[in-house]
Structure 1
Amino acid sequence: MKPVGAATGRILVVDDEEINRLILANLFEGTYEVDEAANGREALEMIEADPERYIAVLLDVMMPVLDGIEVLRHLAPTGYMGRVPVFLITAERGNAVMEEAYSLGVMDSIGKPIVPYAVMKRVQSVVELFEARKRLSRTVEDQRLQLLDRAEQIIELNRGMIESLSAAIEFRNGESGDHVQRIHDITKLMLTQTHLGDGLSSEDIDDIALAAIMHDVGKIAIPDAILCKPGRLTPEEFEVMKTHTVQGAELLARIPQMRSMGAYRYAVDIARHHHERWDGRGYPDGLAGDQISIWAQVVSLADVYDALTNKRVYKAAFTREESLRMIRDGECGVFNPDLLACFFEVEPQICALYERRTAVASKPGSPEAGADVMGK
């Protein structure tokens, strides 16, 4: 290695003739620091020890131990020559050698005997081009990371606003807002732990779980006298309560920013259809069977389970055993048999989830699922 003054990087000169290495080292003195290798094996060991060390490699063809072409064959699969320019030094002008060298990724060839001025200009030009490309790549990558960071911040902000809006609706009738978080967790658990989520990506499931939080958003349009009534609704009041499904879907559709979110299409569907029933006796559209999306079905059952197992202003919480019996016996509406089988399969995990939350605080929820229990 030759220490130099104002060097702007380090190059590797690979040649079995010491005089050639000396000529090139002197040529680049003051411009680059220079490491030397006497054969291809030494060169590979130096490169592999620190792949980021060099900004250029000048490689002789005819060498003992490992020649230049063999070095190129080792480097080509690693992508090294896409990051660092390699110049072939050779007196050999045979088409076969040069054709293979270029096919392996050599940037340029330097003929022997060496013409110092020409070599200096060619190497400097290519090195500057590669370094400029690296700077541009770093700039692009920095900008990409900044954009991703901003996008994540926006996503978190949107999620926070969605959760706050959904929780605020729960607060209107004296509930804590934990209901929407439990619905989120149950929905995600059922789609990840059973075959109900087959065909859905993890991103899809995250979007559906987020959409589940917004299932009752339409209740913002329901008068307090009905929404907060501490008892059974009259038939007329129940008809008003039922409109929260349509109101919710329409409200979400009127928010332009929602349309760019992956959760949007799920949210609109869930808000409108989470009170549909397998036998077609739900509302607002009277959908039956597989006309109801699987995510709306999952949220519907999660909603009922949460309503049964938690205290409401109009009822005490049912025990876990009684709640499961009511769901199994169809007292809270008719559900897809396959959905029920999956639900009972993972219900112990859901129960454990509730117990963890209960250890922190009491868990009131939305009156929505109680629609099937007390006319809401």
Structure 2
Amino acid sequence: MSGRPVLIAGAGISGLLLAQHLQQLGVPYQLFEQDSAIDARSGGWGLTLHWALPALRELLPDHLVARLPETYVNKAAAARGDTGRFQFFDLQTGSALYSVPAEERIRVSRVRLRQLLATDLDVQWNKTLQNIESSSDSVTAHFADGSSYTGCLLIGCDGSRSRAREVLYPEGHEMSPLPVQLLGGAALYSPEEMGGAEKIDPFIFQGSHPETDVFFFFSLLDTPNNFEESSKDKYLCQIIISWADAKNIPVPSDNAERIALMKSLTENWVQPFKGLVHNLPESTEARSIRIADWMFQPVQSPAHPRVVLMGDSAHTMTMFRGEGANNAIVDVLDLTKRVDLRSVGSLSTEGLREGLTAYENDVFTRAEPSVVNSRQACLDAHDFSRIINGSPLVSARLRK
């Protein structure tokens, strides 16, 4: 059994980081991803890394730590030590009501971070996990293309719609939707179209209107000359607005109508926030996202003792506190501290399960408050009165 690899289902942040660490240790692994390539579903998202940065540096080889700036959305700001202020604005008056401090914080491109983490890794693409079969001393992953692979441990890193989660929690794997509608898109803006937004914060800011409770999130995804392939004179911006279902505003299926809706909902906003929405080109893809979350329970599956979840598969949380990626990174570190990965292939099922149980308890203790706070932050974002009285939406992000 000692020669059997660790099977990793999913090449997201946690799956790639785990594979990098196993490769450093010389532990055999097989990494599977349902997408066809690393950038198949980039989605135009950024990630804010803060309390997980020490763990990230501990897990990665030094040469990849040195290359982390290749992922930054604003390398110039990061180089001067600017961690941003992550301010929250009253969109009726333009007043900054809160800022969220951080000793260290960087904003990265999700697709660039995945590309960096995939360096020198053997990823098997187009592999959609279909089923899991367990025996007394091994686990076999079956994929939709008919292939099967057997290992000593299977780690489900396959995201918020995790098939591994379905297998482990057949009666309770579905996510819990929140009563919130969200529309967002990304576009290139000239300095004139930015209206000075780049001076507010070099990374991200947010706000809400006290009369309509429509929420706004702004993120820089790239800055002029940030990379060789970056625009020479424009900013790549992510624009998101959201509102509570109670407003009874349906999301149109037509893209042009979605852009028009975003602009109509922000007509009474003060500048530059109004302009950031109204300058969206009609050709922008306006994506509709239904917010939902899920949190695993650390209960051993007797049928699959060598299977465990990690990252979004274990704890899907809303984007309103930016803690999903941070928890996913520390998941990997917690596993390394609870399971001797160098000898994982020779561990008895009982010995392995003891370490996995300790890992699951660590993850639950840390991530469950993040899921709860992120859910509350999402609800509060669409009720201005809750925000001004204090909310997880505007409180500091700290590792529990």
Q: Shorter-chain TM-score category? A: under 0.3
Question: What TM-score do you get using the length of structure 1 for normalisation?
Answer: 0.20
Going by fraction, where is helix more abundant, 1 or 2? 1
TM-score under structure 2 normalisation?
0.19
Rg larger in structure: 1
Higher normalized strand content (fraction of residues): 2
